[in-house]
Amino acid sequence: MSHMVDFIRNPSMLEHFFKHFMCNSGTHSLYMDPYGNIFPCTMLNKEIGNVRESDFDKVWMSEEAKEVREFIAKKKCMCWGSCEMPPSLARNQKVVLWIFSRMLKDFLIDKKNRIFK
């Protein structure tokens, strides 16, 4: 987890991150408030419909949902709240490989240090 924190704290990494990776909120995840209103995430105040007024499938496939997905795909918002980031990261092979390579490197360095103590 410390790698994730380093990744977020380092501004140059974050810049690279935002440039190359996209948020999957509204495509792979959603936020539903207690009144049935559906949003792509907890941060973006763009409602795509309400499940009390319409079937979920209709809301999910609606024109509003499509417009919000296009808005996100154009990177017009870039916050990556803590709830939304892990699922989006987990779906990005580059990020997963980068995290595992860092973890493996730290593991090997730690192992080497223990052996030569």
Which residue number, 27 or 54, has a Cβ lying nearer to ligand SF4? Answer: 27
- 81, 96, 109, 111: which one binds ligand SF4 (CB under 6 A): 81
Residue placing its CB nearer to ligand SF4 in the complex, 31 or 102: 31
Distance set, CA 96 to CA 42, 56, 59, 74 (Å)? 24, 31, 31, 23
Q: In what order do the strands lie in the sheet with 37-39?
A: 31-32, 37-39, 49-50
| Contact present, 26 and 87 (Cβ < 8 Å) | no
Instruction: Report the amino acid identity of residue 87.
Output: P
Binding status of residue 87 toward ligand SF4 by CB under 6 A: no
Pick the piece of the chain touching ligand SF4 (CB under 6 A) from 6-14, 71-79, 95-103, 108-116.
71-79
By C-beta, is 59 or 84 nearer to ligand SF4?
84
